[in-house]
Copies of this chain bind each other. A is one copy, B any other.
């Protein structure tokens, strides 16, 4: 069996995966809070729980981590996991369990899961775009996950698309995720509401300030016209970054996942509608397919397990 982890700022999620069928046998989760040795203890306890409960053994462990994780398993930079920075998380866990450990960025891990088992199947070249609090991305080129020289590839959420734009919480000006993340959708909803053009969201949220991307999505699902306008403008921002990725990597397909994927196919369709206008030479190239991800919020842990499988 393989255990795949997705370690976020709040929780660590673990999946027990059958290495031949790639199916999820069991699940566990715990808080990811604490200093690095505490986090290691938490992960070991989750492995132990899964192993004991299922009367099995573990052959490898995969870690999907929110942040810049080196190929060697050291988390170099993670706004969400300040307590485990520069700590050899992969090595410590591998030593304690005496199994190989693969470590990757969480979005890259999710990308690999979609490549093998989800919406990326059949495409040798595709981009995964996870829209949540920020934007997490990953790329498959020629059937292989792009890791980069350090393991830091796939951070297109931090690609600048408006260099004279406002400062984002990362300190950058105008990165893609400032405009096209779930947080951005909430802000765009609040802006429309404050301008008197989104009463439905105020009714749902209770006040302008309480509006989040969730309320915009709900108003959209209810058929509200203002929500449709906010959403279409948001989809254009998503498409601006997608068009850049098309210029750079020429993927056959872009798979949209992350928290906003609850919106469903309207999101893929909304982005696809802008692509011809934003993609240079679109009259001369086959349209890039825009699809929703299939694996939901378990993609990161699942992909981490699949990456670990390559180490066995």
Binding site for B on A (CB under 8 A): 68, 76-77, 85, 123-125, 137, 139, 141-142, 144, 146-156, 158-164, 170-172, 174-175, 240, 243-245, 247-252, 280-281, 283-286
Contacts and interface: CB of A to CB of B under 8 A. Distances in A.
Given A68-B285, A142-B144, A172 B248 contact: no
A171 B252 CA distance: 23
A280 B170 contact: yes
Contacts of A283: 77
A56 to B, nearest CB: 34
A149 B162 contact: no
A306 to B, nearest CB: 18
Given A76-B284, A150-B286, A162-B163, A155 B68 contact: no
Chain B CB within 10 Å, residue with most, of A123, A163, A174, A283: A163
Contacts of A160: 161, 240, 243-244
A251 B149 contact: yes
Given A68-B284, A123-B149, A244-B244, 9 more contacts: A77-B284, A141-B148, A148-B249, A158-B247, A158-B280, A159-B244, A159-B247, A161-B161, A162-B164
B285 A159 contact: no
Contacts of A85: 284
A146 B248 CA distance: 9
The 5 closest A-B pairs by CB, nearest first: A148-B250, A77-B284, A149-B252, A153-B250, A77-B281
A171 B284 CA distance: 15
